[in-house]
Amino acid sequence: MPMPKVQPEKRVCPVCKTVFEVGGRGRPGRRQRFCSKACNAYARVREHKVKQMSATEAAYLAGLIDGEGSIIAVKRNQKGRITWRLQVASTTPVLLEWCIAITGVGSIVKRKSTNPKHADSQWWQCYSWNAIEVLKQIMPYMILKKNKAQQAVNELSNIQFTYTMTVSAGG
């Protein structure tokens, strides 16, 4: 018995407003929201999920980052832009879960220790745009790593989003 034909459904991309079809043979699946990977990436970059912290929470997180954390320039992409990572290391999982709870972003990474005398290491981390949004909230309370935080915020704030021009010219 042959499979019934699936009728495609027309959708409008929320980023570039292009009409595209989903469903059916040779088309994207029905769950696809954007017309392309580029539009999906652009939307993901522009959606910040960082929660607004109270002054006490921001000050405490700033102290954690000054003492047990780091602001790291991870790597450069082909255009020469750096990806920034914000992290806090601790052997106490409750502290790292608290970081996720108050910021609303990030993940906890765990690594087993090869030395039986040492505890397993773990850290909370978040990257680039979410890290910058966190840094903007906690920077007034930072002391030791305030210059590095300012450098990260300045660098990502200077990035020009030319994507909308390439979309309108290309499609």
| DSSP-assigned letter for residue 52 | P
pLDDT for 99 equals 94
What's the CA dihedral at 141, 143, 145, 147 to 10 degrees? 90
70 in the same domain as 20: no
Phi/psi at 150 (nearest 5 deg)?
-65, -40
Range ranked top by mean pLDDT from 84-88, 111-115, 138-142 = 138-142
130 in the same domain as 59: yes
Q: Is residue 78 predicted with pLDDT exceeding 60?
A: yes
CA atoms within 13 A on the CB side of 171: 14
70 in the same domain as 152: yes
pLDDT for 45 equals 58
82 in the same domain as 25: no
Contact present, 62 and 141 (Cβ < 8 Å): yes
CA atoms within 13 A on the CB side of 151: 13
pLDDT for 37 equals 79
- Asked whether residue 1 is domain-assigned, the answer is no
Q: DSSP labels for 38-67?
A: HHHHHHHHH---PPPPPHHHHHHHHHHHHH
Number of domains in the chain: 2
Residue-wise pLDDT tens digits, 9-58: 888 888 788 898 888 777 877 888 888 877 777 666 555 678 999 999 99
